[in-house]
Structure 1
């Protein structure tokens, strides 16, 4: 299962059925779960934990030291869940002690070619980052998020669950859950209705989220006024999550 040209450190812990391709290097303090396939010419550096059924394609660099100039070699980690797909040339960096010391990635995510995930990022489950998406340090991405190719996210930004960014977006503020954004600088272009329907959201929830979106973006209210009105009108988990995603903003939301 391990190609004879691969270099796997004796301090690495691989499940018995992990496949490792030619010329791949796996360092110490790396743990790889069952059913995983690590392709050729991949570098995995620890401390890194990769969950079960991880698929990594050629020339990816996973768990490398971050590019933050404050980083001085402290023992930080990259932790990934199960069923993630990491395509060609992707770079996933570990955390820094200036934050939690961890970069955390959930399960069932797709990182298309040449994606970069910077230090201390947190990514949820079931996300798609298209080709050449770049996340600066300390970025938080919710579940079921989609970020189009060639987009860049500024450090410390929040990108909410079920939100979608069109290709080439330059994202310098926080993105509430459920919305669609695009542009440079990115602007909001509506509710992600098609995505919500595909994921089985009820008609009632979609109507409530649409009305909530209009209160924030179309009625000329301040954000605070809009959130008060949403709470008064709706008592659904989806609208509560929409409100919470806005209240979590530290950089101001995209308008």
Structure 2
């Protein structure tokens, strides 16, 4: 009887161990996703919806951001993280008489040089250049300007918590001389909590200050995501809501929505 019981206990332990390992694996991936400079290949597909756009508050916009993140190992001490944002836009009546537009928007390309290991104080950071590429396919979907500037991120991960700040500033340096120059600051503070079951709860803002127009756009956003597996593919699924605390007359107001599907390619 004792031998049979021992075999049963060992068999149960062997059956349980892969599930525990799988849970830890998904939790680790979820924590990596909260780090903008993690050495993890991912392709987020981020759908945003906003309304009450324009002086008459009758415009709306759907924005699908394709955001591949690709890390490159430079040496034992440094990584280069490429983060791209390519928007596909569908919008209507963003100002009276504007009609509707569908197509590509302008691309933002960021490159972060980041140490492989955190600092002695536990900080994870990265810095480098950011570029604005006028890839818009419609005059109302592009700035018609080339831009460049610095970008940086700093964060700490302690237990299940991740907190940090990502920012950049872009100045235009070339493009259509009839279009307004660009000088914008982007700030993204974020706070995330990841559970042992790979759920992540995030509170953040993605604020922009336009120095040419002296205007803020300030949303506050809550997002919930879950790392899971679809067949053999690791993914993160999520959704959330945002409220516009501050916006210019031409910007969105009230509530907005976000849905995300992120394809994960761990190495």
**Structure in which a larger fraction of residues adopt strand:** 2
Q: TM-score with structure 2 length normalisation?
A: 0.23
TM-score, normalised on structure 1?
Answer: 0.24
